[in-house]
Amino acid sequence: MKQLLFTITLCLFLIQTDASAQWFGKKKKQKEKNKTEKPKGDFKEYKEIIKGDVKSDEGLFTTHQIDDKLYYEIPFNKLEEDLLLVSRIVKLPDNFGGGYINAGSKVNEQVVRWYKRDKNIDLKVISFQNVSDEDSPIYKSVEANNFFPILYSCKIEAINPDSTAYLVDVSSLFTDEVSAINAMPDRLRKSYKVKRLDKSRSYIASAKSFPENIEVQHLMTYDAGDPPGRDQAGTISMLLNQSMILLPEDKMQPRLADDRVGWFTIQKYDYNSEKLKSDDYELIRRWRLVPKDIEAYKRGELVEPVKPIVYYLDPATPEKWRPYFKQGIEDWNVAFEEAGFKNAIIAKDPPTKEEDPEFSPEDVRYSVVRYVATTTRNAVGPSVSDPRTGEIIESDIIWYHNHLRSYRNRYMIEAGAQKESARTLETPEAEIGEMMRMVIAHEVGHALGLPHNMKASSAYPTDSLRSASFTQEYGLTPSIMDYARVNYVAQPEDEGVRLIRMMGPYDKYSVNWGYRYIPEAKSKEDEKPILDDWILEKAGNPWYEFGSGYGVADPRANRESLGDDHVKASEYGLANLKKVVPNLVEWTSQKGQDYSELAEVYRELGYMWWGYNRHVIANIGGIYETRKTADQEGVVYEHVPASIQREALAFLNEHAFTNHEWLLNKGILQRIEDAGAIERVKSLQVRAMKSLLDEDRILRMVENESLNGSEAYTVLEMLEDLRKGIFSELYKGQAVDAYRRNLQRTFVELAASQIAKLDAEEKRNNEVIISDIIPLMRAELEQLKSDITSSRYRTSDKMSRIHWNDLLARIENSFSE
């Protein structure tokens, strides 16, 4: 999953809501004073300002548009109230930000409060990261070290007729360049050579006030030397939407996060902790779901929530795809039923003007699945949450139109060997619709608070993915939040096997853990023992384990992989690819069209071939991570068994570092290019080899040997196995073809570059590198030099002898530099 979202460091989304601790900066006495104090000061008469052709709208604040001016009436009782300010893009130039910033993209979200200061009103950004009991001595220090910055300031112009609100001119908040809410980050400003904001072509387009939010749209125009897309005016214009939402006074009870169950979180630090440090912990981000009938809920009956989660479809969504989008949204009701709720999430068509004249996808009262007409091939599921409690307030799922192309291609490549209907560029509507449905379900999962669970794909036995009964009941992985899109393990003879991912048991488990209402718990601390018990009930079952796949060396958390045996799964995947390649010309050819579709699908097939190798490589020097708390038996980290690592290296020698005649299909290559096949295969093999010889991987293997001795798969053993595989022609006295010569040169270059890189770091930092990597790489090149010297004349092939002599020279040169 993954959109360009940028934030300012001033905005942090954290909260403490216990009775024992106040979130920093919210003094109840001051708030009450602001509600009751009488306005003072010499201001203009209200009627002198609000007159003539005025567009007024009553709501959270009454707004007035007069010509190019925008006024707010800020009620006295809304001063120092928590408001969430969400900035979104409504319209923008083609290909802005490389295509990953689109209509509906969120620019920023931050909590703000309006404060009165003499004759001014200040808008401050509020942080909930650091908290302390207001009555404790340390509160003064927390207050002094967390001073709230002023985002915007304006003068009080007048007081409204019934003396309940200050009238302020907020025009410049939307027409000047306020960095916290604009959509032109520094990197794009530099890339597009932006000179300035042109105020003559920037203006407020509309302002609407609703009971709990204000929506302002404003157009920003920048002078740019190198604007994106096909712009001919030398400018970049964007229409932005600013939502100011009143956060609920009745705050949702937060739920403590636990990294054994995957959730998006917000972090906080409590300085009133009795521990000898600040108490840092995280709260999960989730929607507020409360059963209508708590007694029935307690009895175990399925109960509707007081306020269900509602998603509207974008009016721009093509009619034929709407049923699949709705299914993808409402698929989550199965998981919510596990948590005791029925009809917890509802999908609706966009209302007509007659049904709801105020409906707008930019209005935060509506969560929308947006359909974006761009060439971007992606989908995302962001959300907006209350930083005090983690309550999700609204979200917009974004589907980019050309993501259809991604799934069309993938289906042909990974399912073409098994299913006849996948062997076309015109994927049948029911099948592409099912894929779209599952993409939407995946993105809704993010919007419900669930991150990627890349570990889920390793939970099922690989051969179970060839079983029709198993896959139809349990899907391809226990979680739809993994990146397991198409069942490439299934073989042509496996009839009835499910080929497209679906929701699984982990999804039901995680939703139950995060959303089940616990009536007896009066605080987040009360909930913790219950939540811990739910985790321990599933402990040891890989179906219910979580692993993000980011920042760890656990091969079980591979992206795009399937099954618990990566070698076997990749062998199945490669067997299918070898059946697909000879048919690609036929499957992609269209009368009167060129071979661009063939070239695209063929390139993507090569990347999938690399992916199958990547899944296997991850096992070498890999470390299993099983998240546990101190009260659970066993360790958290374990090195991958030596037998699995040896099997992985043997797979690579057989399938990655060989001559790929099946991939270098003459019938394809002669239709899509005049040259480049050798270089393309080399680049994929180099990628695999670089990954295998990665410095961090080698260091993990060295550490494994020091910890586990003879039980470890050592670096020396791995390098010897790799060398004998890559240079097998040398040891067998055989001729070396062009593809293998490329690969062998690459091995020498990579080993030499590791030495050169670390030597350079040593000299630059004036320190001795004590890592084993330099001596290992030197020893490997020395051994190879000796082997080439003694065996290079065993072949009569002249080109091979030239090649061996060249390698000797390269090795000598690497030692002399």
Instruction: Annotate 475-507 with three-state secondary structure.
Output: CCCCCCCCCCCECCCCCCCCCCCCCECCCCHHH
pLDDT at 635: 95
Whether residues 633 and 511 share a domain: the answer is no
Asked whether residue 9 is assigned to any structural domain, the reply reads no
pLDDT at 762: 59
φ, ψ of residue 271 in degrees (nearest 5): -85, 0
Boundary residue ending a domain (537, 561, 585): 561
Asked whether residue 284 is assigned to any structural domain, the reply reads no
Whether residues 551 and 637 share a domain: the answer is no
Q: Is the dihedral of CA 634, 639, 644, 648 positive or negative?
A: positive
Whether residues 550 and 570 share a domain: the answer is no
User: 10 Å Cβ neighbour count for 409?
Assistant: 22
Query: What tokens were used for 222?
Result: 């920048």
pLDDT at 380: 82
The single residue listed with the structure tokens 């042109």 is: 198
Whether residues 532 and 569 share a domain: the answer is no
Q: Looking at 179-271, list the stretches that DSSP marks H as alpha helix, in order from N- to C-terminal side.
A: 186-191
Whether residues 737 and 640 share a domain: the answer is no
The single residue listed with the structure tokens 């669970």 is: 453
Asked whether residue 268 is assigned to any structural domain, the reply reads no
Domain range enclosing 63: 27-247
Whether residues 536 and 597 share a domain: the answer is no
Asked whether residue 336 is assigned to any structural domain, the reply reads yes
Closest of 394, 514, 512, 380 to residue 452, by C-alpha: 380
Whether residues 237 and 110 share a domain: the answer is yes
Asked whether residue 430 is assigned to any structural domain, the reply reads yes
Closest of 403, 399, 405, 376 to residue 322, by C-alpha: 399
Boundary residue ending a domain (561, 577, 592): 561
The single residue listed with the structure tokens 């939402």 is: 245
| Cα distance between residue 11 and residue 148, in whole Å | 10
pLDDT at 275: 59
| Cα distance between residue 173 and residue 87, in whole Å | 12
Whether residues 398 and 492 share a domain: the answer is yes
Whether residues 135 and 88 share a domain: the answer is yes
| Cα distance between residue 391 and residue 714, in whole Å | 49
| Cα distance between residue 431 and residue 798, in whole Å | 54
Boundary residue ending a domain (528, 561, 594): 561
HSE-CB for 464 with a 13 A CA cutoff: 18
Whether residues 89 and 107 share a domain: the answer is yes
- Residues in the chain with pLDDT < 50? 1-30, 33, 36, 129-133, 138-140, 142, 145, 276-277, 768
Q: How many domains does the chain have?
A: 4
| Cα distance between residue 186 and residue 172, in whole Å | 21
pLDDT at 705: 93
| Cα distance between residue 555 and residue 549, in whole Å | 9
| Cα distance between residue 513 and residue 509, in whole Å | 6
Asked whether residue 759 is assigned to any structural domain, the reply reads yes
Structure pTM? Answer: 0.86
| Cα distance between residue 803 and residue 736, in whole Å | 8
Closest of 361, 359, 353, 344 to residue 397, by C-alpha: 361
Asked whether residue 262 is assigned to any structural domain, the reply reads no
User: 10 Å Cβ neighbour count for 778?
Assistant: 16
Total residue count of the chain as it appears in this document: 817
Whether residues 705 and 743 share a domain: the answer is no
CB-based contacts of 141, cutoff 8 Å, min separation 6: 271
pLDDT at 135: 52
Whether residues 180 and 138 share a domain: the answer is yes
pLDDT at 160: 95
Asked whether residue 254 is assigned to any structural domain, the reply reads no
